[in-house]
Amino acid sequence: MNGRLVIIGIGPGSAGLITPDAHAALATATDVIGYGPYLNRIAIGVHQTRHASDNREEIERGRHALALCESGRAVAVVSSGDAGVFAMASAVFEAIETGPETWRTLNVSVIPGISAMLAVSAKLGAPLGHDFCAISLSDNLKPWSLVCHRLRLAAQAGFVMALYNARSRARPDRLGEAFDILRSELPSDTLVVFATAISRPEERVEISTLADADQTLADMRTLVLIGSAETRRIRGTSFLYTPRSVPA
């Protein structure tokens, strides 16, 4: 029996933002693997085996999925948002690279999902209308000094920034430190968006300026969007956009 492994992005939260391709792949899986809270967001049938694990066990989760696939199972690995953005696709391919040679011949594919930054952008209007970047503020897998370096260069380059993993109980002050770096590079009236649990019932969106940005508005469910010098709010509305053109 030939196994297969599909890595699936299940979107930011709303069931309506899970793509038809993702639904179809999930329906045919024998085993569904992922972080527990993400598995709770999808329907798992009686014919399927649920494999939940902790959020910091990505590589182990990928190895488990590959071993099941090698044994002939139809495996689905799920991630919130898009599986290729700070999520499980990279972990699975790292496991393939460092694992047994036989894993390199397995039937592995990736199904894209709607990432949090795209869902937030759509909610607000078009803040990602021009050049932008995504930066994770987590220093679990890279040094904080590198995060700071990238923040400073992104600000100097004029990118709109989508900040993932903005704040957690283990890192309560990193977002504040990031704001201090950005305040040294960007105008004080730069727009800052705190988008928490986007597309879910508990969704909350707050718009501030860099001068007044309060890190306590964020948690691990929050994507923080930093506008560029060109990003603007349409007066009398909640819409933000970044023009597609930049003055010469």
The three-state DSSP-derived secondary structure of the chain is CCCEEEEEECECCCHHHCCHHHHHHHHCCCEEEEEHHHHCCCCCCCCCEEEEECCCCHHHHHHHHHHHHHCCCEEEEEECECCCCCCHHHHHHHHHHHCCHHHHHCCEEEECCCCHHHHHHHHHEECCCCCEEEEECCCCCCCHHHHHHHHHHHHHHCCEEEEECCCCCCCCCHHHHHHHHHHCCCCCCCEEEEEECCCCCCCEEEEEECCCCCHHHCCCCEEEEECCCCCEECCCCCCEECCCCCCC
Give the total residue count for the chain: 248
Mean pLDDT by 10 residues, the chain (248 residues): 92 95 96 95 94 88 97 97 96 97 97 97 97 95 96 97 91 93 97 96 96 95 96 93 88
**Do residues 27 and 44 make contact, with C-beta atoms less than 8 angstroms apart?**
no
pLDDT at 56: 78
Q: Which two tokens stand for residue 205?
A: 């969106």
Helix axis angle for 88-98 and 58-70, nearest 10°, is 60
**CA–CA separation, 138 vs 134, rounded Å?**
12
* Domains of the chain, earliest start first: 4-114 (3.40.1010.10), 117-241 (3.30.950.10)
pLDDT at 1: 58
How many CB atoms sit inside 10 A of residue 41's CB?
A: 16
Sheet holding 204-209, edge to edge: 132-136, 160-164, 222-226, 191-196, 204-209
pLDDT at 13: 92
pLDDT at 245: 87
